[in-house]
Amino acid sequence: MTTDYKVTELFCIIDEFCKHFNAENSGNLLEDNSGVKRRLRAASLSDSEIMTILLYYIV
């Protein structure tokens, strides 16, 4: 059984990973030059929140 403490610990680990990943790859990612207009609205969940939810329910 997973407690709230374990979920919080999992989120903190994933959040630190996402921070380091974004910092390392900030200048190395390809740009989208397809000409398609896209919204610049912020997502409602962060990448680390989505990954935590996915890992919590997979394991």
Q: What is the model's pLDDT at position 12?
A: 95
Alpha helices for the chain (secondary structure H): 4-25, 47-58
Q: What is the model's pLDDT at position 50?
A: 93
Q: What is the model's pLDDT at position 14?
A: 95
- pTM, 2 dp: 0.70
Distance of alpha carbon 6 from alpha carbon 26, whole angstroms = 30
Q: Judge contact between 53 and 2, C-beta under 8 A.
A: no
* pLDDT category of residue 2 using cuts at 50, 70 and 90: low
Q: What is the pLDDT of residues 8-52, one digit of tens each?
A: 999 999 999 999 998 888 777 777 777 777 666 777 899 999 999
